Structure 1
Amino acid sequence: MNGQRRLGSGTFLLLVILLGAFGPISTDMFLPALPDMVDEFDTTAAVMNMTLYGFMFSMAVSILLLGPVTDKYGRKAPLVICLAEYVVTTLLCAFVHDVGILIVLRVLQAIGAGAAMTLSTAFVKDCYSGVIRLKILNIVAIVGVLGPLLAPIAGAALISLWGWRATFIAPAVIALVCLVLALMLDETLPDGERVDGGLSDMLQGMKQLCCTPSFLVFTVMICLFNLPFMAYLSVSSYIYEGMFGVEPVAYSLILATTLIVGTVVMMLINRLTGNIVKRRIIGLYLVLGGFSGIATLLVGDTAWYVFFACFSVCVAVNITIRPWGMGILMASHDGDSGTVSSLINFMFFLIGCIGMVLSTLPWKDYVFGLAVLICISSVLYALLWTVFKTGRMELKGLDGTSSEVSERR
């Protein structure tokens, strides 16, 4: 790891982890309040959900553009600027009284959140390698799960005490702590390792990666199950509170339990498949995803606990497949870590944003809509893997085990 004069290794790791959680804490903390916010702002669920997928789309674009910027200008300065912007826009969200202004502020807030997510991954690539890198990626992935796990619970507590506006003040405080740590940070990308050239050169680097079929196809594959997952986050409060009559606090606990189950399954899959060639694990994710979609379609609307059980399988797939695939992709492209991480994260959140939009279509009910989205994701996953195989595409590490991939650089 690159030495930090003012930040110890533990404090630096804490910063990396917190930055990786900016997406979840920015979206999930106020989820329990969405039905009440619809009433307070005198609007509809579809309009209020624009605060979610408007945020997600803006964050995806931010992730895409800021990765190459940090490859050229370094990590510290963009991080400090974007964290300051995040603090300001988040505090403004806490005091707004118009839903249109709230949507605009959420779009602006997402710029800072996207920078944090991008730089979290870039710091991992800059400062860690081999087995340690894979472990840190898994830690960041787990925290990315703990974020949406704990955020609704914390949000429900804040809402019960001070109302939904407190769910924006809390992320602003977290961002302020990160800003202080960022000011103490030593640059992790030396001048000699930065990308030369202007914006056109940076965009050209992106184009080259996107025109690499193996990179593009595999990236979309590992992000597909984020479509139903983010759709679930978008409408889960309406399902549990509106459709099944669950109380807001109980909803938060159910959401947390869903993510706990997903995390436990991720750890179990990683343990059981650690010595299995990665190419053979691809079919496992397809089977689990397909099972979740069909089960949710057939019996998901019978009771909240049945829906919980069916959809938890999809959550587990989404949580597991991202760090698994990201480790392969990052090992396959050693240069331009900011560009690589930004493209992976961009695709992840763009597909999630599409899921949020699709979740608000006039389905028979939200449970049916989620089941259809899981099935669509599973079918697309199978088709893309078929394209990957028939096109004889290859990625370094795909034919190795987890330990073998992590030792490559």
Structure 2
Amino acid sequence: MADSKVQPRMGNTGFIIFLALLSAFVPLSTDLYLPALPDMTKFFAVPEIVMNLTLILFFVFYSIATLFWGPLSDRYGRRPILLIGLTLYMLASILCGIATNAYEIIIFRVLQAIGGGVATTVATAVIKDVFVGRKQETTLAIVQSMVVISPAIAPVIGSLLLTFISWRGIFFAQALLGLSVIYGSIIFKETHQAENGTTSIIRSFGRLGALLLNPGFTALLVTFSLMSIVSLSYISSSSYIFQDTFHLSSRMFSLFFSFNALGMLLGPLVYIPLSKYIDRFKIIYASFGISIIAGVLVLVFGQMSPIAFAITQFPATLASSAIRPPGTYLVLKQEENDNGSASALYSAGGTIFGSVGMVIVSIAEATPIAAIAWINIIIGASCAVLLWLSLTFLKKKITV
């Protein structure tokens, strides 16, 4: 880290924790209230698909918002944009907590998504501002390994909160999370010099299109964003699978969910030492293969019991998580400038494709386990083919 970019009021450890909290906004904004989804569905007396819109639309608008926050952070700097977005997130969380019907929840979750969209985009851009080369890749892995702790502990915390308070308190907890990260943004030292005032906002947003015209960037963006379908389809359907299909309590659901979230934690941690000795592309292809194998296992054994489903899904969770550090590094490596815009497109790509996975499992609510299995198989195979095609036909246009 260059001396001029050291965080004097945070320190290096505090800086990494701050980046991890920012990167964890999506899982914390979803997984914390996952145990409450079935109860909220009954409380408001609405169909399951209506309450699932609080998840689906969150990811849709989150992805749209990142496309705005990224270029704005390139033009005005990371810190002021963070403060604006996180303040909106905190206020929207409070509104969710006082909502009187399911449709208000949906609207306020959209506002939450718009505000929270600033977090992941800016966190990734800041890492690229500060670190280079392998240090950048390992920092991404470290931050993402810390990030995936949140899916492991968030449902547990959520289910514990539900024993003392109603689902409304969970949204107030999210507001407190927003407040804590706002404080971090206040003491955060800017890592990106704002653009010259003569640069128009339209020109800043135009960089998104310019990036998409880079064939290497776009090919890898699509390939690695597709894997979000695997993780987010599981996240959005897990509470219904464990609580409605297998008839477990919200607390037992949180324990099973935490087991699979352990795979999210181990993925980046496994990748770091392996990448010292094994080419990153071999690890990536192996991860795609593991996702396919896991899908077959879920299809054959997953419906037998909650334990069987959790164990057979675990390899797919591990594989999709292990791909994140090299995938993020390779996508951002294709563009050495416009860090905010590149990070925005990468965040948007993952959430857009992830939302597709959530819609698929919502439509297939009668057979969610089979849907998860086929998603693992089809996405794993598709990503392997897309990566091979990209490296074969765009070899001279892809920076590794």
TM over 0.5: yes
> What does residue 271 of structure 1 align with?
273
Q: Tell me if structure 1 keeps the 8 A contact 2:21–2:147.
A: no
Residues 1:42 and 2:45 aligned together: yes
User: How far 1:322 sits from its partner (Å)?
Assistant: 1.3
Identify the residue that residue 110 of structure 1 maps to in structure 2.
113
Aligned to 1:401: none
Specify the code of the residue in structure 1 equivalent to 2:352. Answer: L
Tell me what 1:202 maps to.
204
Which of residues 225, 249, 260 is equivalent to 2:251? 249
Q: 1:329 to 1:247 in 2, by over 3 A?
A: same
Separation in structure 1 between the aligned mates of residue 267 and residue 87 of structure 2, nearest angstrom: 37
Once the two structures are TM-superposed, the CA of residue 185 in structure 1 deviates from its matched residue by 2.3
Q: 1:284 aligns with which of 268, 283, 286?
A: 286
260-269 or 212-221: bigger deviation: 260-269
Is the CA contact 1:213–1:393 (under 8 Å) kept in the aligned structure 2? no
Note the alpha carbon deviations across 1:180-232, whole angstroms, 9 max, x for none: 221222222124x6696223322332112112222111122112221021111
| Gap change, CA 1:387 and 1:145, over 3 Å in 2 | same
Residue 342 of structure 2: aligned partner: 340
Q: Distance in 1 between matches of 2:397 and 2:166?
A: 49
Q: TM-score, normalised by structure 1?
A: 0.92
Opposite residue 274 of structure 2, the aligned amino acid is L
Return the letter of the residue paired with 1:257.
Answer: F
| Secondary structure class of the residue paired with 1:104 | helix
CA distance in 1, matches of 2:256, 2:196: 45
1:349 to 1:127, Cα distance in 2 relative to 1, 3 A: same
Distance 2:135 2:175 in 1: 31
Within a 5 Å distance, the mapping from 1:191-340 to structure 2 comes to: 191=194, 197-340=199-342
Contact 2:142 2:268 in 1 (8 A): no
Q: 1:186 to 1:396 in 2, by over 3 A?
A: same
Over the aligned positions, Cα root-mean-square deviation in angstroms equals 1.9
5+ residue gaps, structure 1, are: 399-409
* TM-score, normalised relative to structure 2: 0.94
What is the total number of aligned residue pairs between the two structures? 397
C-alpha distance in 1, partners of 2:203/2:112? 28
**Residue matched to 1:404:** none
The question of whether the paired residues in 2 share the 8 Å contact of 1:225 and 1:317 is answered with no
The alpha carbon displacement at 1:297 in A equals 1.5
Task: For 1:132-171, list aligned pairs within 5 A.
Answer: 132-171=135-174
Change (3 A) 1:310 1:185: same
Matching residue of 1:59:
62
Counterpart for residue 373 of structure 1: 375
Given residue 184 of structure 1, which amino acid in structure 2 is its aligned partner? I
Taking the aligned partners of 1:15 and 1:166, their CA distance within structure 2 comes to 24
Contact 1:59–1:113 under 8 Å retained in 2:
yes
Task: Report if the CA contact (8 A) 2:391-2:398 is conserved.
Answer: no
Conservation of the 8 A alpha-carbon contact between 2:268 and 2:325: no
The code of the aligned residue for 2:114 comes to I
The 3-state SS of whatever aligns with 1:49 is helix
What letter is aligned with 1:156? S
Instruction: Determine if contact 2:230/2:320 at 8 Å carries over to the other structure.
Output: no
Equivalent in the alignment of 2:129: 126
How much does 1:394 deviate?
Answer: 4.4
Q: Which amino acid aligns with 2:357?
A: G
Unmatched 5+ stretches in structure 2:
none
Rounded Cα–Cα distance in structure 2 between residues aligned with 1:262 and 1:92: 31
SS in 1 for 2:377: helix
DSSP 3-state at the match of 1:368: helix
Q: Is the 8 A contact 1:153 1:256 kept in 2?
A: yes
Opposite residue 100 of structure 1, the aligned amino acid is Y
Give the partner amino acid of 2:17. L
Offset of residue 306 of structure 1: 1.3
The answer (yes or no) to whether the contact 1:74–1:194 under 8 Å persists in 2 is no
Native 8 Å contact 1:261 1:316 kept in 2: yes
Report what 2:190 is aligned to.
Answer: 187
- The Cα shift of 1:266 comes to 4.2
Distance 1:395 1:324, change over 3 A: farther
Q: Cα distance 1:186–1:259, how it changes in 2: closer, same or farther (>3 A)?
A: same
Q: Could you tell me how far apart the structure 1 residues matched to 2:160 and 2:197 are?
A: 46
- The one-letter code sitting in structure 2 at the alignment partner of 1:49 is N
Which amino acid in structure 2 is aligned with residue 284 of structure 1? A
